[in-house]
């Protein structure tokens, strides 16, 4: 009889183990499944919405950038064969302003350098270096200028917002 009771207890235990009973009521299992389902959220986003989000984030980053300030000093020499001292000063000033714009263009857009050397009989015969700047400089202001001993010097500044800087030159 003890043997039958033991067999019965063991078979009930095995039945419980293999039946998948985890000790929870079916209602508790449904609540637990609902919690898991609530954690997963599927959201459909169109390409236009993604483009708008990226644009908004980019604009938010641009608005926090500080201003960029560029300062250059242009120099111009008065030519020797002028009619009057006033003409010499005017031409020197024009050369100084042009030099300042060239330097701003170099800072903003870079400079292209082409070089050529000619060697003959193991000696340098000719060396040519050509530089070129291409760019558009707007809103530069002359903040200081002076003329002394035939040399005209110009201080030129260009201030640009960080947003505008990134818009034009971020590549």
| pLDDT (tens digit per residue) in 69-105 | 889 999 999 888 999 999 999 999 999 999 999 999 9
Domain annotation covers residue 142: yes
Residue identified by tokens 């270096």 is 129
**Number of domains comprising the chain:** 1
d(CA 114, CA 124): 17
Find the CATH number of the domain harbouring 93: 3.30.1660
- The residue among 122 and 96 whose pLDDT is bigger is 96
Residue 13, CB-side half-sphere exposure with 13 Å CA sphere: 6
Tokens of 43: 């959201």
Whole-model pTM: value is 0.56
List the domain range (segments joined by +) for residue 74: 68-108+135-169
- The residue among 68 and 45 whose pLDDT is bigger is 68
- The residue among 37 and 124 whose pLDDT is bigger is 124
Confidence band for 122, pLDDT divided at 50, 70 and 90: confident
Domain annotation covers residue 13: no
Q: What is the mean pLDDT of residues 103-128?
A: 89
Domain annotation covers residue 20: no
Say if residues 138 and 159 touch (Cβ distance below 8 Å). no
Domain annotation covers residue 72: yes
Across 43-111, where does the E strand assignment appear?
A: 68-77
Domain annotation covers residue 116: no
Say if residues 89 and 149 touch (Cβ distance below 8 Å). no
Domain annotation covers residue 31: no
Q: What angle do CA 141, 144, 149 make, to 5 degrees?
A: 130
């Amino acid at each position: 009889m003890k043997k039958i009771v033991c067999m019965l207890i063991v078979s009930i235990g095995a039945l419980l183990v293999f039946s998948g009973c985890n000790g929870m009521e079916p209602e508790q299992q449904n609540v637990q499944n609902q919690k898991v389902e609530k954690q997963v959220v599927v959201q459909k986003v169109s390409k236009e919405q993604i483009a708008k989000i990226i644009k908004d984030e980019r604009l938010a980053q641009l608005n926090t950038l500080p201003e960029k300030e560029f300062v250059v000093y242009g120099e111009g020499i008065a030519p020797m064969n002028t009619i009057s001292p006033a003409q010499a000063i005017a031409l020197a000033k024009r050369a100084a302003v042009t030099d300042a714009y060239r330097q701003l263009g170099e800072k903003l857009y870079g400079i292209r350098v082409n070089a050529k050397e000619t060697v003959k009989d193991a000696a340098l015969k000719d060396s040519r270096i050509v530089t070129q700047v291409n760019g558009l400089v707007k809103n530069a202001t002359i903040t200081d200028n002076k003329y002394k001993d035939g040399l005209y010097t110009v201080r030129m500044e260009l201030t640009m917002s960080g947003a505008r800087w990134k818009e034009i030159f971020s590549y």
